[in-house]
Chains A and B, each alone.
Chain A
Amino acid sequence: MAPLKSLEVENPIIDFNFQQFCASHHIFSVEDFLFHDIYKLQISTKHHSNSERLEQGITVILSIIEAQHQPWVNGMELLEEAQGNKHSISTGYERIDMLLQGGLFRGNLVEVVGPSSSGKTQICLKAAANVAVNNLGSVIFFDTGNSFSPKRIEKLLDQIPDSAKIKTEEARQQVMNKIVCQSVFDIFVLIDLLHQLKSNLKPMTGCSVQMLIVDSVSSLVTPILGSGAHGHALMVSVGFLLKELAYEHNLSVLVTNHMVGAEGGHLKPALGESWKNIPHMRLHLSRDRKSNICSMSILRHPYIAAGKAQDIDAVYEKVFRNTNLQQQPPAMQNMSCSQENDSKLKMTDEFFEKLYKNNVQQHQSMQNISYSQDPSERCV
């Protein structure tokens, strides 16, 4: 909120005299003015010599405040707007798009949450590559873990079905120039950058930034969280800034979040309860260590039913069994993975197909799930 001084230029009535009067009531900014009891303020003007002028000043400020509010929009208009320009951006994975009924929505803040090496960064990179290659616009990638890999982007570009059009060096350069990466290692730097983005995007409405990715937001927030209320305030303010950017510039904002241990050895999304309600959409990723299959489920979505956490767990189990049905025994499976660099992600597709068709054959799957595997192959 603006300090009263700055209003002086446009409204001569808010002169030094008026400012001093306000200062005597501990009012320095318009914000302070809103907190104050205006009725009491008006009464106290009576004690001053030029009470009329002071009262006029108060009305002027009130009218300035009133002019700040946004115009009304009715439901019909909102729907039209939503259908008109809030269409979705494909993630590059057919099955994920299917699950989300179109992909990532413009103007929404989408959070991908999952344990370490569950494919969060892969989804971000793929989505970025997909936006760039389909000429939708540019992508801004805030990287907090040195995990942005141009090499990987290049590989992902090769996998896109009609990659013929990006065969040449120049075409490839053009595509990759659309992805702008910036390393961020500090929450204050992130806030600074988001402010920059806010002010720089405004004059260029034609500017084609389509997607903003923060991978990962939690590694910036974790160091400051818990050291008092201030850390919380910063976290929420980042959340609001991201949402504001998404709304005002119709961006699709994608952030990743970590999973941390909770009671009973279970995992839960990091950043706690007050972050939980900030993203519009929350997607949960997991990877089955044995079969190397990644899967996604919806924790929160504007209109697709998410169900309770337990239900999701149940769905997981079913689908894992089901996919195991489809797979060869583990040893063979390893072989097939090795042939294709990206089979881990391709299997994701298979997973979603299963989820959708929902033809889980419980009995058969129960027989197939109980295989044993040499644990030393996996892990220590």
Chain B
Amino acid sequence: MEVSRLAISASTRAKLISAGYTSLSSLSTLSPFNLATDIKIPEKEADEILKLASHNGKLDNTKGTQAVSGGQTAWDMLKEDEGLRCITTSCSALDNILGGGINCKEVTEIGGVPGIGKTQLGIQLAINVQIPHEHGGLAAKAIYIDTEGSFMVERALQIAEACLSDYNDLPRRGCNANQLKRQPKDLLENIYYFRVCSYTEQIALINYLGKFIKEHKEVKIVIVDSITFHFRQDFENMALRTRLLSELALKLMKLANEFKLAVVLLNQVTTKYTEGAVHLTLALGDSWSHACTNRIILHWNGNERYAYIDKSPTLQSASAPYSVTGKGIRDSVSDHKRVKLM
């Protein structure tokens, strides 16, 4: 039945079907008033249904050569992507394996054991997205969604100070002496922080994000720390969880694509039993593992922290050391250059 393909509520759909309107063509000749009286719904609703139906069956012949409207050729996309800048992680080895940093228009999942530096990396990215253009940054703002309450504003201030002193020491391209020196305070002002206390709030917030970003176009990164927390507890119905999470992922993808921003989801780890051995994997299960475009796993190797690219359509699997210092994420001290590829 064709009407079931329309994005309308179940009750309206049932009304349509029971009144005999099963096909789109049966709706095509109706006026909103007729439909409204026929199935006893407000005229406004009827108008919406008819709009949907006519849009659905409409032939888009405006562009003769294009088979689908709104599609983009790979060439155009390539040219467009060349203009996009990456968000640096402040660790050159990590930037190196990521092809310059965290990519805009992509959803990147970063996971690891507690204490490995997930939140540190999140805060670092929220600061780094604000690096001005003349230093190769995006000069943008950040949204930080905190579900665990682990965002430490004092720590963010430290990282902001370190970041500012780093690029203020560098010689500027197109030097502008009149420009006021930015203060760490300014950097903190550019982080929009949301505290989320339950999974319903989390879903509501992500639904609202589109509207928020439309009003704040300069936002170029959304960090969710962590996507997992509320979904790991008090969830009896696992099928429902999968459904909610995959919907959430699609919405974030849409945001990333529409506003050309980077989405970074932090995730926890869990143990998994396969083939007689227990090992650690990222939480939320197998169906979630498909949800993100990129997946980076942070882990310990001896006394060193390593980041490993587990999944990416463009990058090859590789791992790189990094360290968490007082200034934030930095290159690993012990061996500076070694990048190990897998």
A residues near B, CB below 8 A? 1-3, 5-6, 26, 28-29, 31-32, 115-117, 121-122, 125, 128, 132, 138, 140, 144-154, 172-173, 176-183, 185-186, 188, 191-193, 195-197, 199-201, 207, 209, 216, 218-220, 222-228, 230, 233-234, 237, 258-261, 265, 267, 270, 292, 334, 337-338, 341, 344, 375-380
Residue pair A32, B20 in contact (C-beta under 8 Å): yes
Q: How far is the CB of A94 from chain B (nearest CB, A)?
A: 21
Bound: A223/B297 CA distance, A: 26
Given A230-B4, A237-B5: A380 touches B280 (CB 8 Å cut-off): yes
Q: Which B residue's beta carbon lies closest to that of A241? A: B5
Given A146-B253, A226-B239, A228-B10: A140 touches B68 (CB 8 Å cut-off): yes
Considering only residues 283-342 of chain B, those with a C-beta below 8 Å from chain A are 285-287, 289-293, 295, 297-302, 308, 310-314, 316-319, 340-342
A-B contacts counted at CB < 8 A amount to: 238
Residue pair A145, B293 in contact (C-beta under 8 Å): yes
Interface range for B:
35 or more
- Provide the residues of chain B in CB contact with A191, threshold 8 Å: 5, 56
Residue pair B73, A182 in contact (C-beta under 8 Å): no
Residue pair B73, A195 in contact (C-beta under 8 Å): no
Given A180-B72, A181-B73, A196-B60: A234 touches B286 (CB 8 Å cut-off): no
Q: Which B residue's beta carbon lies closest to that of A1? A: B23
- Provide the residues of chain B in CB contact with A180, threshold 8 Å: 66-68, 71-74
Residue pair A116, B112 in contact (C-beta under 8 Å): no
Bound: A116/B312 CA distance, A: 10
Residue pair B286, A116 in contact (C-beta under 8 Å): yes
Residue pair B20, A28 in contact (C-beta under 8 Å): yes
- Provide the residues of chain A in CB contact with B13, threshold 8 Å: 230
6 additional A-B pairs beyond A116-B290, A176-B75, A337-B316, beta carbons within 8 Å, are A1-B22, A128-B74, A146-B257, A146-B293, A223-B246, A341-B316
Residue pair B301, A195 in contact (C-beta under 8 Å): no
- Provide the residues of chain B in CB contact with A29, threshold 8 Å: 20, 22-23, 26
For A145, A153, A230, A261, the residue with the greatest tally of chain B CB atoms inside 10 Å of its CB is A145
B105 within 8 A of A: yes
- Provide the residues of chain B in CB contact with A228, threshold 8 Å: 10
Bound: A138/B106 CA distance, A: 25
- Provide the residues of chain A in CB contact with B69, threshold 8 Å: 196
Bound: A209/B68 CA distance, A: 11
Interface string of B247-285 (1 = CB under 8 A from A): 101110110110000000000010011100001110001
Q: Which A residue's beta carbon lies closest to that of B272? A: A265
Q: Which A residue's beta carbon lies closest to that of B244? A: A223
- Provide the residues of chain B in CB contact with A337, threshold 8 Å: 316-317, 341-342
Residue pair B23, A154 in contact (C-beta under 8 Å): no
**15 A-B pairs in the complex with CB atoms less than 8 angstroms apart:** A29-B26, A145-B293, A146-B105, A146-B293, A181-B71, A181-B77, A182-B72, A186-B250, A200-B67, A219-B249, A219-B291, A233-B4, A260-B242, A270-B287, A337-B342
B residues near A, CB below 8 A? 1, 4-7, 10, 13, 19-23, 25-26, 29, 55-57, 59-61, 66-78, 81, 105-107, 112-113, 239-240, 242-244, 246-247, 249-251, 253-254, 256-257, 269, 272-274, 279-281, 285-287, 289-293, 295, 297-302, 308, 310-314, 316-319, 340-342
Bound: A344/B311 CA distance, A: 13
For A122, A138, A216, A219, the residue with the greatest tally of chain B CB atoms inside 10 Å of its CB is A219
Bound: A337/B74 CA distance, A: 28
Partner of B60, one of A179, A200, A341: A200
Residue pair B273, A153 in contact (C-beta under 8 Å): no
Q: How far is the CB of B236 from chain A (nearest CB, A)?
A: 14
Top 10 nearest A-B pairs (CB, nearest first) are: A338-B341, A28-B20, A176-B75, A150-B78, A117-B311, A223-B247, A116-B289, A380-B299, A179-B74, A3-B26
- Provide the residues of chain A in CB contact with B314, threshold 8 Å: 149, 151-152
Given A125-B313, A182-B72: A380 touches B25 (CB 8 Å cut-off): no
Partner of B243, one of A185, A227, A292: A227
Bound: A150/B105 CA distance, A: 13
Bound: A236/B51 CA distance, A: 25
- Provide the residues of chain B in CB contact with A259, threshold 8 Å: 286
Partner of A260, one of B1, B26, B287: B287
- Provide the residues of chain B in CB contact with A219, threshold 8 Å: 246, 249-250, 290-291
- Provide the residues of chain A in CB contact with B281, threshold 8 Å: 379-380
Residue pair A176, B74 in contact (C-beta under 8 Å): yes
